[in-house]
Amino acid sequence: MKYFKLPDLGEGLPEAEILEWHIQEGDEVTTDQILVSVETAKAIIEVPSPQSGVIAHLFGEPGDTIHTGEPLLEFAGADETDSGTVVGEIPQAANQLSHQDEFIIGAAPSSRSGQPQTRATPAVRALAKRLNIDLSQLSGSGHNGNITPKDVEQAAYLDKKHGKAEPLRGVRKHMAQAMARSHAEVVPVTITEDADIEHWPKGSDITLRLIQAIASACIAEPAFNTWFDGQSLSRRIHTHIDLGVAVDTDQGLFVPVLRDIGNRTPEDIRDGLNRLRADVKARTIPAQELQGATLTLSNFGTIAGRYASPIVVPPQVAIIGAGVIRQQPVAVKGKLCIHRILPLSLTFDHRALTGGEAARFLLALLRALQE
């Protein structure tokens, strides 16, 4: 092997960002020695060496994005063969993150390497170099998407006036891409309601009650526990309810998956939720635990907000939002009372679900919460 290429790091993730090289050019390494730490959209991963040898060249610096199948490094005195795989297990590094408790919200032509191809003349490239402008961050306004001198000068003016733009990386970059995909594909509709939870005992586990109510509503309306394929216009109704429970962190939004919530005890659900939250905090959560949700809970009410229009992420068809619990006046048997009210928002993909199904799901959710 002459070139060691970035392998598939799991779940078909297309790229990773270099965080830190653990070796230098000229170093002699052994099989399974950690070469580099990279960050994918899901986790921080330490990549081991597939063989022993001497490092001739490193491709990329910390902060650079490398796509799957692109060279990471070159071994000295080796042949050209490269299977693109990694020998041994790729462990996930424990990178500490601060977070808030259970916050649950839910171009240019490409080159052969999969990276955007910058279209600019040599003169424009020289101008960009002189003005310290990264052409890969610009969208060309010229013919066929070519970058013009005006594009470069405008970017330099903005940098001087407002400071350099900071490219999104890692989790935030993945979140932005997922939100853009949702906006392009989903036909969202949001309906809202209020659950009267005055009867809940003091100290009730709000998140647990929401999870149990969602499981009950999915039994009443199984169409919500569905994946929808917009290309083939087909849907897959799941037998197990795998709930995405997103956690807000300084690095971005994580959505670990709580499996089979309809067949677990309350104690088991709470223990599983605590484990997922701890793994996200330590940044040790396996990539597979961030995949496969059949619908999502968005408990933004742990911070602020009454109603919302949470984002449905394909292939899911729905997301439930829970706002801040408030004391509100309500009419009970003709008398005005003050009760604790939990505001709910339900966004669904109208390609896959009807308004009637959505209303019935929300009604089942309300009844489960108000029992």
Q: Which pair of tokens denotes residue 174? A: 């993945």
Which stretch of 1-15, 240-254, 259-273, 333-347 has the lowest confidence by average pLDDT? 1-15
Q: Which pair of tokens denotes residue 242? A: 């795998």
1-18 in b/e burial notation, b at 16+ Cβ within 10 A?
A: bbbbbbbebbeebebbbb
Pick from 67, 156, 146, 69: nearest CA to 108: 146
The more confident residue out of 98 and 247 is 247
Its CATH architecture, for the domain 3-75, is Beta Barrel (2.40)
- Alpha helices by DSSP H, 192-265: 206-220
Bond before 315 cis per omega within 30 degrees = yes
Q: What is the pLDDT, as a whole number, of residue 41?
A: 72
Calculate the CA 188 to chain-centre distance. 19
What is the mean pLDDT of the segment spanning 188-198?
95
**Band of the pLDDT at 286, cuts 50, 70, 90?**
confident
Residues of the chain with CATH 3.30.559.10: 173-370
Q: Which pair of tokens denotes residue 90? A: 């790729």
- Please state which of the four CATH numbers 3.30.56.10, 3.30.559.10, 3.40.50.300, 2.40.50.100 is assigned to the domain occupying 173-370: 3.30.559.10
- Which phi and psi angles does 328 have, rounded to 5°? -135, 155
What DSSP assignment string belongs to 154-208? HHHHHHHHH-------HHHHHHHHHHHHHHHH--EEEEEEEEE-TTSPTT--HHH
Asked if residues 179 and 291 have their Cβ atoms less than 8 Å apart, the reply is no
Q: What is the pLDDT, as a whole number, of residue 1?
A: 62
Gap between the terminal Cα atoms of the chain: 64
Q: Count Cβ atoms within 10 A of the Cβ of residue 120 and give its class: 0-12 exposed, 13-18 middle, 19 or more buried.
A: buried
Does the pTM surpass 0.85? The reply is no
Q: At what angle do helices 206-220 and 266-282 cross, to 10 degrees?
A: 120
Residues of the chain with CATH 2.40.50.100: 3-75
**Band of the pLDDT at 250, cuts 50, 70, 90?**
confident
When computed from its CA atoms, the radius of gyration of the chain, rounded to whole angstroms, is 25
